Homo-oligomer: A and B are copies of this chain.
Amino acid sequence: MIADNNMSDSQSARALAPRRHGEILRRLVSDGTVSITELADHFDVSRQTIRRDLKHLAERGQLDLVHGGATLFEPTEAAFTERRGENASAKASIGRAAAALVRDGMVVFLDSGTTTLAVAHALADRKNLTICTTSLSIALQMCRQPQVRVHMLGGEIDPAEEAAVGIDALEAISHFRVDVAFLGGGGLSPDGEVTDFTRNGAEQRSRMTATAGKAYFVLDSSKFGRLTPLRIPRFELAAGVIVDRRPPEAICEALKRKGPIVIVAE
Cβ of A250 under 8 Å from chain B: no
Whether the pair B68, A16 counts as a contact (CB closer than 8 A) is yes
Cβ of A60 under 8 Å from chain B: yes
Bound together, the chains give a CA A151 to CA B169 distance in angstroms of 11
Chain multiplicity (copies): 2
Cβ of A149 under 8 Å from chain B: yes
Q: What residue in chain B is nearest A15 (Cβ atoms)?
A: B35
Cβ of A33 under 8 Å from chain B: yes
Contact digits for A131-148, partner B, Cβ 8 Å, 1 yes 0 no: 000001101110111000
* Residue of A14, A59, A60 contacting most chain B CB atoms (<10 Å): A60
Bound together, the chains give a CA A152 to CA B135 distance in angstroms of 10
Bound together, the chains give a CA A15 to CA B71 distance in angstroms of 12
A interface residues (Cβ-Cβ under 8 A, vs B): 1-4, 8, 13-19, 22, 25, 32-33, 35, 37-38, 40-41, 44, 46-48, 59-62, 66-69, 71, 75-78, 85, 88-89, 92, 118, 121, 124, 136-137, 139-141, 143-145, 149-159, 162, 164, 168-169, 172, 175
The 6 A-B pairs with the shortest beta carbon distances in the complex, nearest first, are: A154-B154, A60-B88, A16-B68, A150-B157, A76-B144, A13-B37
In the assembled complex, 20 residue pairs joining A and B whose CB atoms fall closer than 8 Å, in A order, are A2-B41, A4-B40, A13-B37, A16-B67, A18-B33, A22-B33, A25-B85, A61-B88, A61-B92, A62-B85, A136-B139, A136-B140, A136-B152, A144-B162, A150-B159, A152-B152, A153-B154, A154-B168, A154-B169, A168-B175
